[in-house]
Amino acid sequence: MLADRLKEKVSKALLDLAENIKPKVAKGKPFHFLHSFYDGNYTLMFQPGTTTKGKVHLRDGIDSKRTMFTVVIAMIPCLLFGMWNAGHQHFAPIIEIAERLISAISLDSLSQEVLWAKINALAAVDGGLADAMYEAGRRNLEGPELLSYIMPSIENIADAGFFSKFIYGAIRVLPIVVVSYVTGLGIEFAVAQMKGHPIAEGFLVSGMLIPLIMPVTIPLWMVVVATAFAVIIGKEIFGGTGMNILNVALTARVFIFFAYPTSISGDKVWIQDLVDGASGATALAQAFEGGVAGLSWSWFDMFIGSIPGSIGETSTLMILIGAAILIATGIGSWKIMLSVMLGAGVMGILLNIVGGMEGVENQFLAVPFYYHWVMGGLAFGAVYMATDPVTASQTEKGKWIYGFLIGFFAILVRVLNPAYPEGIMLAILFFNVFAPLIDHYIVEANIKRRLAYAKG
Amino acid sequence: MSTEVASKPIKTSEPLFSKKNMRLLSDPLNENNPITVQVLGICSALAVTAQVKPAFIMALAVTFVTAASNVFISLLRNLIPGNIRIIVQLTIVATMVILVDLVLKAYVYDVSKQLSVFVGLIITNCIIMGRLEAFAMGNKPWASFLDGIGNGLGYAAILIIVAIMREILGSGTLLGYQVVPQFMYDAGFANNNLMVVPAGALFAVGIIIWVQRAQNKYYETE
């Protein structure tokens, strides 16, 4: 088979290349400062020939690097949907305006003043139209000539379809992904080199999680600062990958949440280039204002995820696909995912009961519990972050308790504390801290039970 | 009658600025810093360091109180009954704090307002009680004075470093003057709110401890 032979040739060439480079990065050689980088890439492409040397180990081909990659793959549906949604949220309001504008121009039903005000508002949020206006201005076009010159750009907006939206979103989302990876891996490589450790793979997942829990409008320098903070203060000073107490990606988010609150909360940050007058409020903000009646979307819309929100968190459907990958490969704990949802449901029902009492005015309390599952970042946090094996409970019973409490408190914070709409972030971080305590009591209880059994 | 008094060898008293005494001043600045090594006086270090000016005044106040009460306790050290020494110490510290409070109110009223209860809370500052118990109760007044000044300065150094970090990052100013240029704000830079709240001070103190331990090659032992 040609394909097989090609594969063999390529992998042999790569292996030869790797073997050739190896002596150049050995200790004392001029390129030694790159040896961590070399090791990292070598073990990425080839399974290392060394095995564990400790006492009893389960030996498996799936090392932490391959575990991490599975999680990254499970996040791809969310990423792709997030790219499309970023474009969709930008285009949805202006498509409508452009369509009305086109029909108004053909009917000549608007006064010049109103017409140009609308066109200017559109040009303020659409690059193509702004460029056309600028070019027309340079050519001194006026009146009907100007209008016919910029007409294609307006039609272009009105015709924006799947690909325009996806590309628009991808152009905004990809830089955040790149910046997050470059910052985080740069720090990881530097630390590995300084301490003489091999490179830890922990950032492969965090680097993808960080962009997915940011609003699309987040300034890139904030991503750099937050990622550096999360990797250094959240992870490296505790001893690096596997030693951190708090989830790294959420540490980055919580840093921005408290350091630059206006960039990550409110109604204006979730949609890139929001046209004047359109609402950019998230489902949580709307539900806080007016309960279920205040929502612009149905339960199903929110399940599909074409709503404003952080890049990766909006689509519960895509998160379910990711969850299926994680559970099928045995990497994510279904117990944690399920118990977070259960905890959220129980809290939701409790709040519904309180909300149904006489004299209670808060409409957010009355939002049915199954709405909470698809609003905000609950599902995303449950699937990708509560399950983080480093920071979650390790005991099987502990996972149920840990997950349940996360869901329970996430909804409590979300509904009752308007200052912190994103309860899941705080709830996960809170129970990251409690996870060792939960484990401790589970283990103690096991010891006690078995001692009692042994005594008969 | 001539009396020949055999000249006894005079007991040489220690010079005022002997090496040993200077160590009393310099030790608390680094190796035995009250905040970063002994981890005392953290509350006020977190509370008053959002800006440099109140931090500076606070540092001065604590230095004065530590030194003065060290001297007084050292003078009284042989008269204080062991059973009630804490009460006596507190009385003297409280007197000093009231003095400081009145001076601040008279001369820098706005800062005094800003510091609010934290001036009064100097009484409970562990650094002061710690020095009285650990040093002034067993040493002579001059050494106690130096020890008080040294610990006050060690406290002051950390307070001012933290305050500089917090004021620049959190408000973009230093001593009230704009130091982050306007063009950076125009380019999208924003002040870090985390540095304005006390949690930011905790991170700042933590980072200082980290740097200091790395410098001094200090390692935690079991």
Contact A226, A203 (CB under 8 A): no
| Per-window interface: A 237-296 vs B, CB < 8 A | 237, 255, 258-263
Task: Give dist(CA A159, CA A95) in Å, integer.
Answer: 7
Flag whether pLDDT at B149 surpasses 50. Answer: yes
pLDDT for the residue numbered B215 = 86
**Which two three-digit tokens encode residue A24?**
């150049």
Closest Cα in chain A to B189 = A221
**Selected residue of B193, B197, B202 to mutate for chain A interface (largest A Cβ count, 10 A):** B193
Give me the pLDDT at residue A408, please. Answer: 94
DSSP assigned state of A93: H
All residues of chain A having their beta carbon less than 8 Å from the beta carbon of residue B210 are: 237
d(CA A339, CA A271): 32
* Lowest-pLDDT choice from B27-31, B134-138, B200-204: B27-31
Closest by CA to A42, choosing from A17, A9, A71, A70, is A17
Nearest CA in chain A to B207: A233
Please name the residue of chain B whose CA is at the shortest distance from the CA of residue A238. B210
What is the average per-residue pLDDT within B184-189? 83
Q: Which amino acid is at B121?
A: L
Average pLDDT, chain A: 86
Short-list B26, B31, B38, CA closest to B134? B38
Between CA A114 and CA A351 the distance in angstroms is: 47
Q: What total of structural domains would you count in chain B?
A: 1
pLDDT at B1: 46
pLDDT: which is higher, A359 or A186: A186
**Which stretch of A167-176, A227-236, B116-125 has the lowest confidence by average pLDDT?**
B116-125
pLDDT in tens, B122-146: 888 888 888 888 888 888 889 999 9
pLDDT number for residue A126: 80
**Candidates B192, B195, B207, partner chain A, best to mutate (most A CBs within 10 A):** B192
- The CA–CA distances, whole Å, from A349 to A303, A369, B58 equal 19, 6, 51
Q: Decide if A155 contacts A174 (C-beta within 8 A).
A: no
Is position B86 within any domain?
yes
Whether B190 maps to a domain, the answer reads: yes
Inform me whether the pLDDT recorded for B2 exceeds 60: no
Single-letter amino acid code for the residue at A426: L
| pLDDT digit string, tens, across residues A7-38 | 888 888 888 888 787 777 777 777 776 777 77
Amino acid at B128: I
Residue A174 — pLDDT band, cuts 50, 70, 90?
very high
Q: Which residue has the tokens 């109604």?
A: A267
Q: Do B193 and A255 touch (CB under 8 A)?
A: no
How confident is the model at residue A191, as a pLDDT?
86
Among A279, A275, A83, which Cα is nearest to A164's? A83
Q: How far is CA B129 from CA A194, B70, B205, in A?
A: 42, 9, 22
B190 with A255: Cβ contact below 8 A: no
> In terms of DSSP H, where are the helices of A22-59?
35-45
Question: In the structure encoding, which two tokens stand for residue B36, read together?
Answer: 């970063």
Closest of B143, B157, B144, B195 to residue B59, by C-alpha: B157
**Is residue B214, in this structure, part of any structural domain at all?**
yes
Task: Please report the pLDDT score of residue B20 as a whole number.
Answer: 81
The maximal CA–CA distance of chain B, rounded, in angstroms, is 96
In this structure, chain A runs to a length of 456
Q: Which residues contact A79 (CB under 8 A, 6 or more apart)?
A: A173, A177, A208, A211, A212, A311, A312
Statement: residue B151 has pLDDT above 60: yes
Integer CA distances (angstroms), A201 to A52, A64, B86, in order: 17, 7, 55
Determine the Cα–Cα distance for residues A13 and A45; give it in Å rounded to an integer: 12
Determine the Cα–Cα distance for residues A428 and A403; give it in Å rounded to an integer. 9
| Section A53-72 average pLDDT | 73
**Model confidence at B4: pLDDT above 60:** no
Q: For the residues B46-65, what does the mean pLDDT come to?
A: 90
What domain range is B148 assigned to? 40-221
pLDDT attached to residue B184:
83
How confident is the model over A395-451, as pLDDT tens digits? 999 999 999 999 999 999 988 887 787 889 999 999 999 999 999 999 999 999 999
Let me know if residue B14 belongs to a domain. no
B54 within 8 A of B114, measured Cβ to Cβ = yes
- Report chain B residues touching chain A, CB-CB < 8 A: 188-190, 192-195, 197, 199, 203, 206, 210
Task: Pick A32 or A58 by higher pLDDT.
Answer: A32
Is B11's pLDDT higher than 80? no
Share of chain A above pLDDT 70, in %: 95
Chains A and B form CB pairs within 8 A to the count of: 22
C-alpha distances in angstroms, A284 versus A207, A271, A366?
Answer: 26, 15, 13
- Say whether B193 and A221 touch across the interface (CB within 8 A): no
Cα atoms in the 13 Å half-sphere on the side-chain side of B222: 0
Radius of gyration over every alpha carbon of chain B, rounded to an integer in angstroms: 21
Q: What is the mean pLDDT of residues A74-87?
A: 93
Does B194 contact A237 at a Cβ distance shorter than 8 Å?
A: no
How close is the nearest chain B Cα to the Cα of A235, in Å?
14
- SS3 assignment for chain B: CCCCCCCCCCCCCCCCCCHHHHHHHHHHHCCCCCCCCCCCCHHHHHHCCCCHHHHHHHHHHHHHHHHHHHHHHHHHCCCCCHHHHHHHHHHHHHHHHHHHHHHHHHHCHHHHHHHCHHHHHHHHCHHHHHHHHHCHHHCCHHHHHHHHHHHHHHHHHHHHHHHHHHHHHHHCEECCEECCCHHHHHCCCCCCHHHCCHHHHHHHHHHHHHHHHHHHCCCCCC
A110 vs A212, which has greater pLDDT? A212
Which residue from B190, B203, B210 is facing A260, i.e. has the nearest CB?
B190
B169, part of any domain: yes
Distances (CA, A) of B35 to A282, B28, B44, B50, B58: 44, 9, 10, 17, 14
Out of A154-163, A178-187, B13-22, B45-54, give the one with best mean pLDDT.
Answer: A178-187
Out of A27-41, A294-308, A412-426, B151-165, pick the least confident.
Answer: A27-41
